[in-house]
Amino acid sequence: MDFRLTPAQQALKEEFEAFFQEEAQRAPEGWIGGMFGIFESEANWAYHRSVADRLSKKGWLSLPWPKKYGGQEHSYIEQLIFNEVRGYYRVPGVDLWGPQIVAPSILEHGSEELKQEWLPRIANAEINWCQGWSEPNSGSDLASLMTRAVEDGDDFVINGQKIWTTGGHKADHIFFLARTDPSVPKHKGITYFVSPIKEGVTVRPLLFMHGKHEYNEVFFDNFRVPKTNVVGKVNQGWYVTMAGINFERSMIGTVSELQRDLEDLVDLCKRTQRNGRSLYEDPLIRQKMAQLDTELEATRQWAYYVAWVQSKKQSAAPEASAAKYFSSEMTVRFANTALEILGLYGPLKEGSKWASLHGKFEDLCQASLGGTVAGGTTEIQKNIIAWMGLKLPR
């Protein structure tokens, strides 16, 4: 076994580090990172967009793609390193969906025309995506979705409603699932579309628990999408959704961002005196901090392992599900433990006098709850492990 990066990987990592260290300097006032921070203000969004442009010029939005479509043909390990470094410096600039969900789906299932049309635009950060999968009555049971797509000449006409559409208010494009054949079993009548957001689409805010605007509802009202915008075959959309999601589940960026948060927390504990000693000297707090660090390292090692298996082109669906649920649950534990460590200062929000670390953990102990639900709940991931990994009866 050898956990060392190759010299080329190490060099690339250093290049990433130099880049993101510099980009981190340009963060707007009050920026605390997190996956959804980019949607929360105009300044944050502008920061995200400007980093995205620079990343596209570096070719770093398409690290694992074939060269033919503007990619770098790196392995999952390089992609993992990129995500890890970016997370640590809390720098945005990567569309939540384009490079890691939409592009792999198009690469695996899209027609040559689709590839030629869409992949360069994703690599160039021209598109701000949102995801139209979940519906009010189709959460974990995604395949029960009701949004209809009906053929009409060269188009499909879409009617229905999507929900939990993160960043829908900033997006200019949507990739979504709609039912094209209601007469067959639910998994077999779904089609995968990509489209600009245009006439026929209404986006309405749905505020998260902490009052921030991340989610939206999206309504389709005779929204017309050309047939050429179908990814894969009509009625085969369910299978297209499977591409890409496993890698996304390794969640390494979250781990490295939490590593950074933990460093900040330890520093703060050293500086904060309570009852005649620093918080860092309190044995109970030391136990908690060590546990956080231990769980982070555990999660990191697992993410590397999952990427390693995937880089050998082996399937790792249960492993990826394990990474997704464990890391998102760990994030919730982390945020709540950090809040406890800070005591009464913990719940103070950013902007209030005396807030600790810009209210990072006040925010995270709420925001992290999205992670255990979105992209397949913890329970769905455990089902996948039980059924696919352990071959238990369905």
Partner 1 sequence: MDLDFTEEQEALKKTARDFMKKDFPNTLVRELEEDPTGFRAEIWGKIAEMGWLSVIIPEEYEGIGGSLMDLVVLFEEMGRACFIAPFFSTVICTLPIVSAGSEAQKKEILPKISNGELVLSLALTEPSATYEAAGISTSAVADQEDYVINGTKLFIHDAQVAHYFLCATRTRMDGPPEEGITLFLVDAKSPGIKITPLLTISDDKQNEVVFEKVRVPKKNMLGPLNQGFPLIQHLLKHAMMAKCAEMVGAADWTIENCTAYAKERVQYGSLIGSYGIIQHYLAEMWTEIGIAKRFTYYAAWRLDQGLPCDKEVSMAKAFVSEVYRRWTRMGVQIFGGIGTTREHDMGLYYRRARQAALLFGDPDTLREKVAQEMGR
Which residues are near partner 1 by CB under 8 A? 1-6, 9, 77, 266, 270, 280, 283, 286-287, 289-291, 293-295, 297-299, 301-302, 304-305, 308, 318-319, 322, 325-326, 379, 381-383, 385-387, 389-394
Q: What region does 63 belong to: left with phi over 0, alpha with psi -120 to 50, or beta?
A: alpha
What phi and psi values does residue 48 have, to the nearest 5 degrees? Answer: -55, -45
What phi and psi values does residue 314 have, to the nearest 5 degrees? Answer: -100, 150
CA distance 320 to 304: 11
Nearest approach in angstroms of CB 388 to partner 1 is 10
Helix or strand holding residue 130 (H, E): strand 129-132
For residue 375, count other CB atoms closer than 10 A to its CB: 18
Q: Vertex 353, ends 351 and 355: CA angle to 5°?
A: 70
Q: Select 135 or 261, whichever has its Cβ closest to partner 1.
A: 261
Residues 6+ apart with CB under 8 A from 314: none
Residues 6+ apart with CB under 8 A from 196: 172, 173
Question: Where do we find the tokens 């080329």?
Answer: 8
Tell me, what DSSP letter sits at residue 178? E
Q: Select 219 or 280, whichever has its Cβ closest to partner 1.
A: 280
Q: Select 278 or 366, whichever has its Cβ closest to partner 1.
A: 278
Which amino acid, 283?
Answer: P
Nearest approach in angstroms of CB 79 to partner 1 is 13
Q: Select 266 or 364, whichever has its Cβ closest to partner 1.
A: 266
Nearest approach in angstroms of CB 7 to partner 1 is 12
Q: Select 108 or 281, whichever has its Cβ closest to partner 1.
A: 281
Nearest approach in angstroms of CB 138 to partner 1 is 20
Q: Select 6 or 222, whichever has its Cβ closest to partner 1.
A: 6
Q: Count of alpha carbons within 13 Å of 213, Cβ hemisphere only?
A: 15
Q: Select 222 or 294, whichever has its Cβ closest to partner 1.
A: 294
Nearest approach in angstroms of CB 290 to partner 1 is 4
Nearest approach in angstroms of CB 293 to partner 1 is 6
Nearest approach in angstroms of CB 281 to partner 1 is 9
Q: Look at residues 205, 213, 178 and name the one whose alpha carbon lies nearest to residue 192.
A: 178
What phi and psi values does residue 167 have, to the nearest 5 degrees? Answer: 70, 10
Q: Select 150 or 284, whichever has its Cβ closest to partner 1.
A: 284
Nearest approach in angstroms of CB 239 to partner 1 is 24
Q: What residues does 350 pair with on adjacent strands?
A: none
Helix or strand holding residue 225 (H, E): strand 215-226
